Structure 1
Amino acid sequence: MSVETSNRVQVAAHHWRARFVANGIDVNDFDRTVGKTTEWKDWGPNWQAVGEVHEALGREAEQHGRTVSATAGYQRAAWCYHLGKFLWFEDARQHAELRDRSVAVYRKTLPHLDPPAERLEIPFEGHIIPGHLRRPTDAKRATLILVVPGLDSSKEELFLIEEEFLLRGMATLTIDGPGQSENSVQFPIRVNWESVITPVIDELERHDLGVDLNRIGLMGISIRRLLGQPESADPGRIHLLHEVRRRGRSQGQGVHAQPRGRPR
């Protein structure tokens, strides 16, 4: 084991532990996996192994009709696969496998979430913008929050952020934009985010999705670092910008909201 690769594991653990535990990774899984990962090249394979344990538990529960346990197992598996490939590029083939398995396993959970999620595939530049639409069960025509991952995040990672909006009576549409997770194979990342948001909203308006498209907010992870000036993202229809970002390198996350006039 070299000092450099050991340091890379410890730096990753230091910076990512709070984030991924907050987003659903079991703290015991995190600490055990970090403890046995002495070489950075083993980060992806070790997290894949943990994910496969949870996926097997989910599959067993599903076979016995235990939907809640199956959903939890599949979610944890998807999050482990995502963490395994997060900023890990030692093996391009395995990185792609982890990305695809995270998406596929999480997709099994969508109809069983509370409230359930509907997968949308929004046509975009010859491909699609994939998204998970969730609507609060006790609200009609709820405000819609577009939830956008950060540079290396994924829509599957943001379940607990969706929950916060849903608890407050708002619907969520969490997407993978160009260069993000499921869409990283189709597009490079881009900064002109209005070229994404405008066609997404245009397409939503062609369908009756049971949400209020006159009241749309945009929440992004480190959105200014990713998108430059998110104010340019369809200012006529986005009425609230909400940013989650880190304050400095080791001070956790801060939340910044920028209202745009009075929501209609």
Structure 2
Amino acid sequence: MALCLFVSIFLWQGAASASGGLVPEDPMVRVSYVPTDLDVVSVLASVSKDVSKATGLKESFITYYWQTFDAIVYEGKNIDRPLFVDLYVPGFFSDDDVQGLMVALADALEEHTGVDKKWIFIHTHFPLPGQVFISGEVTDWDVYRGKPNNDPRDIAERALDKFLFNDGAFVFQSLWRFGLTATGGADMGELLTITSQVKDFDKESWYRAWHGMAVKVRSMALEFATSGHAVSAQEAYLRASNYFRASCIYMYNTDPRGFTAWKNGRDAFLKAAGLSNGRIKPVRIPYEKTTLQGYFVTPDNSGKKRPTLLIQTGLDGTAEDLYFIIGTQAAKRGYNCLIFEGPGQGATIHEQKIPFRYDWEKVVTPVVDFVLKQPQVDAKRVALLGYSMGGYLVPRALAYEKRIRWGIVDSGVYSVFDGTMTKFPAEVRKAVEASKDKDIVNALAATEMEAHPELDQFISQMLWTFQAPTPYDLFKKLQKFTLEQSIGKITAEMLVANSSQDQVAGSAEQGRIFYNALQAPKTFLEFDASQGGQFHCQLGAPMLSSERLLNWLDERAKP
């Protein structure tokens, strides 16, 4: 029915009742129409009798009213239709009762007013589904109000790999950050506010949106701390840390705002640690002529000897990230956790400019030396967990560091070089292996990076963390990052986690290659789309991931 403009001044002609008497609990029928020559009292009396006969309701049960519109105007013209009926019904009426009454009213009004039923509009005063009579039949409001302007989104467009953005790198990072709501790293309302301000493929808007919320939440944390609300302050500082971290993810070492945002994020986490009653302790681990940053996380301050999980990231994570991803969950189960950042990671690359190294045992051995000096660590129950490129770094360390009893990788990486080459044309690999055509390699790499935002983010991060001036130089360095000569030396029992649709540097396939080559006692655990764990390191599903990984370790370390 076309939209009408109603200019109405209700000219009450009194309550025209067929039976007299008003009982507030009884049904009421209010008819509204344009000025007419009809004898409305006679009309309502006749309608009352007909409705009573059709429905079996006594006439004394229903009160009828008639009111008059001054005019009904449609397309600038005065018209004499439709006729409106507002129906008040008691709560004990069933849907069938209501619909039967509407049909009886329509029939009677058509008979006694001469108005065609298709121009009689009846609805209950607070209409529920099935309580509207329009265009000659009972219908629903959903049908009456018409279809939405936009068609429903296809289910494929609502899949995880389309989460919020078309920019694959934005999808990756958003899944990561949204997942941390489960462990205190974010709040859904804040996240949706942030992402609503991000323009697809626009990294500057990404930075502004995340950084703006980080500043706001940090200010709130300071307010809480100042007013003595330590728990709220810690929670807000943790979220601010995550938001600062997300804001600088695309800035690396090229924009000074990136370093400032990273440092603000770490400082916010340190503020939160200071409010943890000693359960999150910042540490400095002696390493060669410097130190590595880390956090020693404990379930309590009892000093009880416990199994200890060493946790490290891969290419682009930080120690603060790992606290949310698994550290807080491991501590709940009774583990000590030493979360650390090695060369190429976190503070070590940001502040010291120390790049990744392939002989990762030179990093992990000092970490083990440090942790075994902690009085609450049971030296016989130490495990090492590595994410992403940590799937190469951890096995490499385990091949030579024998004080670690269990190893977990998510996922395994047999060759960092092989995995990276899956993202480029075959001629890139051939040229790198032949140590020639450097300019061609760099040109081909630039073309692929420009076409694929997520690849651009991945390679740009590697150029910085490996301190390589060009893609060609990076690829030459990556050739050393292989387990070919060391995987046979691993004796620690290992869990190899994998994600079925992980396409970051061929990770899904690399995980299978690694597992098949591993000769030590081993377990293979694959996550898939049935619970949203199909992407790299189960992005967006940290609870699902940590539950399965820690269950495996619980059965062995028995915290």
The question of 1:123 aligning with 2:286 is answered yes
Match of 2:379 in 1: 213
State the identity %: 22
Q: Is 2:363 the counterpart of 1:196?
A: yes
Partner of 2:406: 240
The structure having more radius of gyration, on CA atoms, is 2
Distance 2:189 2:254 in 1: 26
Give the direction of change, closer, same or farther, for the CA distance of 1:70–1:93 in structure 2 (3 Å limit): same
Report the CA distance shift for 1:13/1:114 in structure 2 as closer, same or farther (over 3 A): farther
Partner of 1:26: 187
Give the TM-score normalised by structure 1.
0.85
How far 1:11 sits from its partner (Å)? 2.0
Check whether the contact 2:285–2:370 (CA below 8 A) recurs between aligned residues: yes
C-alpha distance in 2 between matches for 1:230 and 1:256 = 20
Deviation at 1:140, TM superposition (A): 1.5
Letter in 2 for 1:164: Q
**What residue number does 2:525 align with?**
none
Indicate conservation of the 8 Å contact 2:296/2:337, yes or no.
yes
CA distance in structure 2 between the aligned counterparts of 1:96 and 1:140, rounded to whole angstroms:
38
Match of 1:173 in 2: 338
What displacement does 1:210 show?
1.7
> How far is 1:127 from its partner?
1.7
**How far is the alpha carbon of 1:35 from its aligned partner?**
2.4
Distance 2:253 2:304 in 1: 47
Deviations along 1:43-85, whole A, 9 cap, x unmatched?
2232111100010000000000100011011111110011112
* Higher deviation after alignment, 158-167 or 126-135: 158-167
- Relative distance call for 1:27 and 1:210 in structure 2 (3 A) is same
Query: Measured at CA, do residues 41 and 242 of structure 1 come closer, stay the same or move farther in structure 2, by a change above 3 Å?
Result: same
Opposite residue 336 of structure 2, the aligned amino acid is A
- 1:136 equivalent to 2:293? Answer no
Question: Aligned residue for 2:439?
Answer: none
Aligned pair in 2 of structure 1 residues 233, 66: CA closer, same or farther (>3 Å)? farther
- The one-letter code of the counterpart of 2:348 is N
Q: Distance in 2 between matches of 1:17 and 1:114?
A: 31
* 2:534 paired residue number: 251
Paired AA for residue 120 in structure 1: V
How many residue pairs match? The answer is: 255
> Cα distance 1:70–1:256, how it changes in 2: closer, same or farther (>3 A)?
closer
- Structure 2 CA distance, aligned partners of 1:200 and 1:112? 25
Would the aligned equivalents of 2:386 and 2:393 in 1 still touch at CA under 8 Å?
Answer: no
Specify which of 271, 283, 295 is matched with residue 108 of structure 1: 271
1: CA distance, partners of 2:167 / 2:255: 22
**8 Å contact kept, 1:13–1:34:** no
> Runs of 5+ in structure 2 lacking a partner?
1-163, 412-498, 504-532, 539-544
| Aligned: 1:155 with 2:438 | no
**Structure 1 32/119 Cα, relative in aligned 2: closer, same or farther at 3 Å?**
same
- Computed over aligned residues only, the root mean square deviation of the Cα atoms, in angstroms, reads 2.8
Q: 1:190 to 1:77 in 2, by over 3 A?
A: same
Q: Distance in 2 between matches of 1:155 and 1:145?
A: 13
Match of 2:230 among 64, 67, 70: 67
CA gap of 1:123–1:115, structure 2 versus 1, over 3 A, is closer
C-alpha separation in 2, matches of 1:172 and 1:234: 22
1:174 is paired with a residue whose SS is: strand
Is the alpha carbon distance of 1:235 and 1:228 closer, same or farther for their aligned partners in structure 2, counting shifts above 3 Å?
closer
TM-score, with length taken from structure 2? 0.42
Determine the C-alpha separation between the residues in 2 that align with 1:163 and 1:228.
21
The structure whose RCO (Cα within 8 Å, separation 6+) is larger is 1
Code of the residue aligned with 1:40 in structure 2: it is K
Instruction: Report the Cα offset of residue 242 of structure 1.
Output: 1.6
Given that 2:207 and 2:248 are in contact with CA atoms closer than 8 Å, whether structure 1 keeps it comes out as yes
- Cα distance change, pair 96–216 in 1 and its aligned pair in 2 (3 A): same
| Worse-superposed segment, 159-168 or 49-58 | 159-168
Would the alpha carbon gap of residues 233 and 188 (structure 1) be closer, same or farther in structure 2, given more than 3 Å must change? Answer: farther
